[in-house]
Structure 1
Amino acid sequence: MLVTLLLIAVTCAVSITCFSNRGMLESLLFWPPAVARGEFHRFVTHGFVHADGQHLLFNMVTLFFFGRAVAPFFERATGPAGFPVFYLAGIVVAILPSYLRHRRDPGYRSLGASGAVSAVLFAYILMAPWSIIYVFVVPVPAILFAAAYTAYGFYAGRLGADNVNHSAHLWGAGYGMLAALIVEPRLGPHFIERLLSPGFLS
């Protein structure tokens, strides 16, 4: 829990500072031309800045609730550094496909922790597919939320009508499940067993 709170605190501090410091924001967000110049820190730092308060609040609330469940899993399996390494790697892995697609696009920018937060959320869903997730106070089984989230991500990503990096969401989600399975392969049979036994207390 302490590591989750620390990640939230650092993200909030950096993001809120950047709301009024455009120069700092520009130096931290993900911008392919800057990466090409050797500013590789942007692969990580873009996950600590957000477009606005709503963007920040949504990601940090999600991280708070699901990080509490996922962090102990990684800590037990890989030690105290397990969860922060998983989270920071999620930021990097989620943005890589976007970088490869837009590496020659000077107009492309991306920011936010959504990729890493999606990794945390989907690692949780792998562990407890029939648990209840509240989406704007509406209770939804986690596995159904995952299906809708994935379908919408593909649809909206292909449509390209908004400024949301749906690719990062989807790659983050896939990374979260894969990382959890690598750490604990028994989660695979566990997930299938739970999936075949629908119930909201799993």
Structure 2
Amino acid sequence: MGTIGITCLLIILVNVIVSFKGFRDEAFFNRYAFDVDGIILYKQYDRLISSGFLHANKMHLFFNMLALFFFSTSLDYVLSNAAFLAVFFMSLVGGSLLSLFLHRHHGDYTAIGASGAVSGIIFAAIALEPGIHVGLLFLPFRVPGWLFGICYVLYSIYGIRSQRDNIGHDAHLGGAMVGMVTALFFQPLAMVYNYSTILLILVPGIFFIYMVIRHPHLLLVDNLYFKRHHKGDLTIDDKYNSARVIREQEIDGLLEKIHKNGLRSLTKKERKTLEDNSKL
């Protein structure tokens, strides 16, 4: 096992430790998960990275770490240890930033998982290893990397547009594109010997991201996300969780105000809000 393999195992170890801490400690989980309001309103930018080390459950953690390990081994002889770390963290942040942009008006949107970073590692391997084949779970055959990459990008684009499931397609796509570009920065010769695969994957992915940034209305479709967030369709749990999150964020803001400016800076209404909350 090369240095990248050892580094990968260390990343997996950190993921396991942080994820299990999140499984047991809800406050820890909520503080470090990807949360739009937490990032935009409270400037908790560490969430862009920390969310990549939290997972929903053991199965989510297992499959992400399994994919990370297998694809990392194929990069052992084509990237330096520093380059591998750059691909991992750039992909993680890239996926988080795309999610933040697409959900910037959905204050209650949250996400967790290393999928953006793992996608970046997978697509770095596809870019730098022309003959790579990808094995799919429960299928007795492997598909060429270029075919997997194209299907993955198209499926991610469809998933972002339709939002028919709870998968973070935006983080996957953002991580994949950033991971591939970062890998090419360290190994630009790959554009010469693997240009067709790289262009077939990068062009539709980057074009879609560009169109979404320039024309955000492209995402305004009648999808599951908007249906679930329409007030008339909220379940009792949705309403309770939404109210709880709003209340907690309001209290956090008041406590931060006290910390910076003192108790006297609060208005009568704000003091009453604190008093009412202390009785809950």
Q: Which position in structure 2 is the counterpart of 1:39?
A: 44
- Please list the CA deviations of residues 11-38 of structure 1 after superposition, one character each: whole Å capped at 9, or x if unmatched: 0111122112111110111112111212
Q: What is the letter of the counterpart of residue 119 of structure 1?
A: G
With the length of structure 2 as denominator, give the TM-score of the two structures. 0.64
Check conservation: 2:78, 2:128, Cα contact below 8 A: no
The structural deviation recorded for 1:102 is: 2.0
Q: Which position in structure 2 is the counterpart of 1:59?
A: 64
The structural deviation recorded for 1:194 is: 7.9
The structural deviation recorded for 1:47 is: 0.3
Trace 1:151-170 onto structure 2 (pairs within 5 A): 151-170=154-173
Q: Which position in structure 1 is the counterpart of 2:204?
A: none
Q: What is the letter of the counterpart of residue 37 of structure 2?
A: P
Check conservation: 1:4, 1:71, Cα contact below 8 A: no
Does residue 11 of structure 2 align to residue 10 of structure 1? no
Q: How many pairs are equivalent?
A: 191
Check conservation: 1:130, 1:194, Cα contact below 8 A: no
Does residue 28 of structure 2 align to residue 27 of structure 1? no
Q: 2:156 and 2:48 mapped to 1: Cα distance?
A: 21
Q: Which position in structure 2 is the counterpart of 1:68?
A: 73
With the length of structure 1 as denominator, give the TM-score of the two structures. 0.88
Q: Matched residue of 1:133: which SS? A: strand
Check conservation: 1:122, 1:146, Cα contact below 8 A: yes
Q: Matched residue of 2:194: which SS? A: helix
The structural deviation recorded for 1:66 is: 0.7
- Structure 1 residues 190, 137: closer, same or farther in 2, change over 3 A? farther
Task: Please tell me whether Structure 1 or Structure 2 has the larger radius of gyration of its CA atoms.
Answer: 2
Check conservation: 2:184, 2:191, Cα contact below 8 A: yes
Percent identity over the alignment is 32
Check conservation: 2:54, 2:114, Cα contact below 8 A: yes
Trace 1:80-119 onto structure 2 (pairs within 5 A): 80-119=81-120
Does residue 126 of structure 2 align to residue 144 of structure 1? no
Unaligned runs of 5+ in 2: 199-280
The structural deviation recorded for 1:193 is: 7.2
Q: Which position in structure 2 is the counterpart of 1:172?
A: 175
Q: What is the letter of the counterpart of residue 10 of structure 2?
A: L
Check conservation: 2:79, 2:186, Cα contact below 8 A: yes
- Please list the CA deviations of residues 73-103 of structure 1 after superposition, one character each: whole Å capped at 9, or x if unmatched: 331xxxx433223211211111112112222
- Structure 1 residues 158, 141: closer, same or farther in 2, change over 3 A? same
Check conservation: 2:83, 2:186, Cα contact below 8 A: no
The structural deviation recorded for 1:175 is: 0.9
Q: Which position in structure 2 is the counterpart of 1:183?
A: 186
Q: What is the letter of the counterpart of residue 126 of structure 2?
A: I
Q: 1:176 and 1:186 mapped to 2: Cα distance?
A: 16
Unaligned runs of 5+ in 1: 196-202
The structural deviation recorded for 1:59 is: 0.8
Q: Matched residue of 1:124: which SS? A: helix
- Please list the CA deviations of residues 154-194 of structure 1 after superposition, one character each: whole Å capped at 9, or x if unmatched: 11221101111101111111111111111111101111378
